[in-house]
Amino acid sequence: MAGKPEIHTTELKTFKRCRRKWAIGELAALQPQKRNMNFLLGTAVHSALEEWSATGDEEAMLDAFLVAVDNDTRDLREQTPWLYAEQEADIIEAVELGREMVTGYIKHWYPETFTVLRAGGKPLLEVAFSMPILTPDGKPTGYTYAGKMDGVVKDEYGIWILERKTTSNTNAEYLRLDDQNVMYLAYAQKMWPKIVPHLRGVYYDFLRKQRPGPRVKSPLFFRERVYRNQHEIDYAMEHVYYVVQDMIRVAKDPDNLAYPSPTKDCSWDCPYKQLCKAMNDGTDVDTIVEAGFVILSEGRNGWVSDWFPKGRV
């Protein structure tokens, strides 16, 4: 490994979920050629609602949605048109569903129940940030934690980090253990000290990936406030340090340490599942890679490894 990479929120989450998935994406730098419809839909919905929260303009919101879809599918259309043709019907379906989701969202929550805070004359939406990762005794490691928070908002109860999610269900029980957004709170404390006395936690804003209809009984749009305390924030910052130490060890010895963590979610949530099975049973992985993946010239975010070129994966 060379250099000191930024550790992104999605990368950290992937590593904790499955070391092999992280290693294939970050060390071997393999990216699937086909678009993940869940990712495409989520990205476009985020872009649309960012525009809505900033301007309150429904037409501009829909334009932002379509621009995001266009940007996310451009390489697929231009570089691999045969793959785009295979996915075109799914992309159209995702666009139609997404438009219904965002228009239904603004009707459901109008008038809005929170206000977006501003800093430097700009709304605090899609706030990119980075902060140093420190050892437990406060010494710099040279690594940084980077991410993007959906927003910073205020309601009658205080100030919150906004986290928007597209989801297939309404189970919110796991939110209390979601440490990703606790790191956002840590950054907010350092960046905007004046809001600290009023900072309460994370405001989750959910949109279900489903159209309205007579059989839909659970809410399509729902929100959940999750309060967080200082102990949780301090713990999360220390926890990131130890996870990064594990990442460094795996990057040095992926053959032995980048093991899979299979669950029922592999069948729908991982683009590498066929490749992963081939790695386990000794099948030739090169054919699978050539048929379905793009190999980036380097590992992302500064990770460097000779793991994949030697044919081991």
**Using 50, 70 and 90 to split pLDDT, how confident is the model at 312?**
very low
**Beta-ladder partners of 63:** none
Reply yes or no on whether the pLDDT at 311 is more than 50: no
Task: Flag the least confident range among 74-78, 190-194, 208-212, 309-313.
Answer: 309-313
Question: Which residues pair with residue 221 across a beta bridge?
Answer: 207
Residue range 233-256: mean pLDDT, rounded? 93
- pLDDT value for 173: 77
* β-pair type (158-167, 221-227): unpaired
- Mean pLDDT (the chain, rounded): 90
Q: What is the pLDDT of residue 168?
A: 83
pTM, entire model: 0.90
State the greatest distance between any 2 C-alpha atoms of the chain, in Å, as a whole number: 59
CA 32 to chain CA centroid, Å, is: 16
- The whole-number pLDDT of residue 29 equals 86
Higher-scoring residue by pLDDT: 1, 17: 17
Q: Which tens digits make up the pLDDT trace of 70-82?
A: 999 998 899 889 9
Q: DSSP for the chain?
A: --S--EEEHHHHHHHHH-HHHHIIIIIS-EEESSPPHHHHHHHHHHHHHHHHHHH--HHHHHHHHHHHHHHHHHHHHHH-HHHHHHHHHHHHHHHHHHHHHHHHHHHHTPSPSSEE-EETTEE-EEEEEEEEEE-TTS-EEEEEEEEEEEEEEEETTEEEEEEEEEESS---GGGGG--HHHHHHHHHHHH-GGGGGGEEEEEEEEEESS---TT--S-SEEEEEEE--HHHHHHHHHHHHHHHHHHHHHHH-HHHH------TTHHHH-TTHHHHHHHHHT--HHHHHHHHEEE-SS-GGG----TTTTT--
pLDDT at 313 over 60: no
In contact, 178 and 232? CB cutoff 8 Å: no
Residue 1 in this model has a pLDDT that exceeds 60: no
- 221 phi, psi to nearest 5 deg: -135, 125
Distance (Å, whole) CA 48 – CA 67 = 9
Distances (CA, A) of 84 to 11, 73, 80: 27, 8, 7
Compute CA distances 296 → 207, 226, 299, whole Å: 33, 39, 7
> Predicted confidence band at 193 (pLDDT cuts at 50, 70, 90)?
very high
Rounded to whole angstroms, the Cα distance separating 252 from 248 reads 6
CA distance 79 to 306: 27
- Residue 59 makes CB contacts below 8 A (sequence gap 6+) with none
220-227 average pLDDT score = 95
Whole-angstrom Cα distance, residue 197 to residue 158? 9
Cα distance between residue 258 and residue 310, in whole Å? 15
Kindly report, residue by residue over 272-303, the tens digit of the pLDDT: 999 999 999 988 888 888 888 887 765 566 66
- pLDDT above 90 covers a percentage of the chain that reads 69
Q: How many CB atoms lie within 10 A of CB 63?
A: 14
pLDDT surpasses 50 at 99 = yes
